[in-house]
Amino acid sequence: MSTVYFNQLGYKTADSRHDYIIKDFQRHAKITVDGIIGSQTKAKMKYYNKNNFCPEVFEPIKPYIPYKDAHVESLCNKGLIGLGSIFNYYSKINDFDVLHNLAHAILESASGTSVIAEKKNNIYGWNAIDSSPLYSAYGFVSKGDCIKAWSEWFNKTYLLPTGNQFRGNNEYCVGIAYHTSSIASINKAFIVQNLRHRLQE
């Protein structure tokens, strides 16, 4: 695997399963997913770079970008319905892009339908340790309370230069410390891309 190539696309390649990253790349490139760098994959690698694969992984998460509550709500489905104005408000208060906030919830809780989201109102998988995710995940009175608490914590911890996990103001940098997964930052960024396209339709 070309570690340098996949890292510059936004994958976290250090100590990661190479076939896992290659399969994710193939899925997004809409080619056969087999984890092998054959002629088809090589052609896509030649075509894609960090500017045309998923540039959202490197875009700034801060500052807040104004959206109407109704527009954010139109992006919410399944277990996130009715939370659009709450996502928007706490993203604004903490000065970061609401699309990145919503995308995190979509990725981590399957749009609010995960067991952790349903049993604990935790739509971000917050503190869900791999060895005991349901037990270790934080619980909240409501999903709105979760959005309030997580947005403040995420901003202070990962997005402000004073935060103890700050690596930079984009999904790639956040993922260095936030995710154990090598593909989470890329997949969250693709969700942001999709949400933005939906607003432009």
For residues 57, 145, 126, 197, the Cα torsion angle rounded to the nearest 10 degrees is -20
Q: Is residue 64 part of a domain?
A: no
Clarify whether residues 88 and 37 are in a common domain.
no
Q: Is residue 55 part of a domain?
A: no
Domain that holds residue 191: 69-200
Please give the structure tokens belonging to residue 14.
């250090």
* pTM flag (> 0.85): yes
What is the Cα 74 distance to its own chain's centre? 19
- Is the bond preceding 133 in cis, omega lying within 30 degrees of 0? no
Whether the Cβ atoms of residue 66 and residue 181 lie closer than 8 Å to each other: no
Clarify whether residues 138 and 193 are in a common domain.
yes
Clarify whether residues 40 and 91 are in a common domain.
no
For residues 146, 150, 152, 153, the Cα torsion angle rounded to the nearest 10 degrees is 140
Clarify whether residues 125 and 191 are in a common domain.
yes
At residue 1 the predicted structure's pLDDT band, cuts being 50, 70 and 90, is: low
Give me the number of domains the chain comprises: 2
Clarify whether residues 79 and 174 are in a common domain.
yes
154-174: pLDDT as tens digits: 999 999 999 999 999 999 999
86-140: pLDDT as tens digits: 999 999 999 999 999 999 999 999 999 999 999 999 999 999 988 899 999 999 9
